[in-house]
Structure 1
């Protein structure tokens, strides 16, 4: 079949783009998830400057589309003397967006931990940070895992937007091939197939993580 022959021929050309997409996704999750947890904790504190800082960062990250964040950082910052590479810009923008959404999931997870668990931590002598780290946080993470897993998949899919600022990821490689072969349908079906396979792998890994957390919490 001609289409399979084309896909086999194109794969070495799109493979570097797949690696860049995975690298961009990994870095965005590596920075975005901890940022979301920090923002969630800041939002729950009684220290008002922390609460307002968290509110501002989250609302900007959730209110602006990821593409707008990409453009704002990549094209606007040079006007104030700050120039970032396209990859660094993409990581910052997607981490910001990921962190903003993750913070809401973390907040929901923290709020879902029964008050009895908090009281048990206090009676066990685990107050403050120790109680939070050993009792509250593990349960909140288990509760937050399913929506965070979906967010990780969305972050991977959003990495395609980095094509707009010249990051050489998967969509960029697809555009290069389609521009020379003019086989737009075959090229973009091929890319959709790759995104679909990687998304399934992401979901499988997050399912395994959720099962691990459930077993850990039941011990």
Structure 2
């Protein structure tokens, strides 16, 4: 055990906590910002892919395919290092929000689209029978049912977004992993510093996973009734 801890003492751990905590808070902020961008984008893309307007549909498909085809790390590098060369300098936080938001929107668009497609055809026919406009039918009938089906998967993907925020250390964002790596560089206690950072991720991801399972169970029970 001492070999794994590399000689780090309890005082070392306690001295690292303020830096690790600030990095953890920044990781949470990046995750929230990315979801705030990505989830509405995912809904817009899901609806755009299903539209009959060919130009809009093509644009939405391109955004989805690029966002899903390019790794999040590549998107981060492109936006943070590539856009400045085109005269669009961005901070690391904004770059991370755009890149992870784009990736989130691309993947969640497919989740949302699957949820919308799961709405029974009879309910969609009822929209026309009741004389509701396409927008009202979408708002009051299709979206509430489709999003209820998609919520468990969206919650599960949110956990992945939080984990993916660790990639932001590559663009000099001082998030959790970046802070842990900095501590390791300064003290050479890489293993204990990174292991401590890992505990922060576990503290969020494990309860969140149980929450996702609970929501899935509730959604399944609702569907049976």
Q: SS of the counterpart of 1:113? A: coil
User: Do 1:42 and 1:50's aligned partners in 2 also have CA atoms closer than 8 Å?
Assistant: yes
The match for 2:199 is: 193
Q: CA deviation at 1:188?
A: 1.3
Correspondence for 2:209: 203
- CA distance 1:212–1:8, shift in 2 (3 Å): farther
- Deviation (angstroms), 1:209: 5.9
| 8 A Cα contact 2:152 2:215, kept in partner | no
Equivalent residue number for residue 43 of structure 1: 49
Q: 1:159 aligns with which of 145, 159, 165?
A: 165
Cα 1:81/1:124, change in 2 over 3 Å: same
5 Å-filtered alignment, 1:34-73, equals: 34-73=40-79
- Structure 1 unaligned spans of 5+: none
Aligned length: 219
Alignment partners' CA distance in 2, 1:212 and 1:66: 32
1:162-177 aligned at under 5 Å gives the runs 162-177=168-183
1:147-168 per-position Cα deviation (integer Å, ceiling 9, x unaligned) = 2112101110000011000111
Alignment check: 8 A CA contact 2:149 2:219 kept: no
Whole-angstrom CA distance in 2 between matches of 1:115 and 1:64:
34
Structure 2 unmatched runs, 5+: 3-7
Q: Is the 8 A contact 2:31 2:165 kept in 1?
A: yes
Normalised TM-score (structure 1):
0.91
- TM-score normalized with structure 2 length: 0.89
d(CA) in 1 for partners of 2:23, 2:66: 29
Find the counterpart in structure 2 of residue 178 from structure 1: 184
